[in-house]
Homo-oligomer: A and B are copies of this chain.
Amino acid sequence: MRRLAWSVLTTTHPTTSQGTEPDLAALASLLADRTRASFCTALLDGRAWTAGELARHAGVAPSTASEHLTSLVGAGLLVEVRQGRHRYLRLASRETAELIEAMSAAAPKAAPPRGLKAVHRSNALARGRTCYDHLAGALGVAVTEAVTGQGWIDWEDGPSLTASGRTGLAALGAEIPARTRRPLVRSCLDWTERRPHVAGAVGAALCSRALEAGWLVRLGGTGGGRAVGVTAEGRAVLAGTLGVPDEDLESAGA
């Protein structure tokens, strides 16, 4: 048993004087705009985008994007790295990603996408995507069900990693950081499937291992975003070792 040690959850903002109430409206205002929200959703892939990429992604002028990005960085939701004539932007922290993710699950669903390309991308996202550092979509849920079926995760009193899960992950080559304050297994409500998928250190280890080993690949070349597809080797591993049903692996081949 371990005692409670105060993990300093990195605040998204330089800690100001305490004792004052949180300005909920200020935070919400940042995400209350379609363009800024689109930036944050795109950045949920965990990578760094340039300002121009984000502008094109959202369909606004570069000048407009620049102003929005400055405000998001100023509020501490994003961080930037300047390199040459480029401005790279990332989500500030995993906590920020989790917040956006949680809000997405609670948000009303927008009108169906318009245009063939958008529909295609939307379907790809529903099949399988990354959610900052773990898997989501039908694929993420299927993997979650599979490892649960293997007895790797126990959902009694909240999800936890079992002993067999620990060895199973090691056999896959998915390494979990030795000492991390991060919860090993976190349940995360999937907004396409409306069922939980596995996040936390275990979810991240599974996802990064799958990408590293070439079981999954990112789709949509030009910074398209978060969609992932299953490769032939991936199909073998996921179906064979984990027992993921075939129909959940029928994503757009890579």
Contacts and interface: CB of A to CB of B under 8 A. Distances in A.
Interface in A8-29: 8-9, 11-13, 15-29
8 contacts: A4-B145, A18-B194, A21-B122, A22-B105, A22-B110, A23-B109, A95-B106, A102-B102
Interface centre among A32, A144, A159, A186 (most CB of B within 10 A): A32
Interface size of A as a range = 35 or more
Nearest to A16: B109
Interface of A: 1-6, 8-9, 11-13, 15-34, 36-37, 40-41, 75-76, 95-96, 99-100, 102-113, 122-123, 125-126, 144-145, 148, 151, 153-162, 183-186, 189, 191-192, 194-196, 200
B106 A12 contact: yes
A157 B160 contact: yes
Interface centre among A40, A108, A144 (most CB of B within 10 A): A108
B113 A3 contact: no
Contacts of A29: 28, 32
B28 A28 contact: yes
Given A20-B113, A148-B3, A108 B183 contact: no
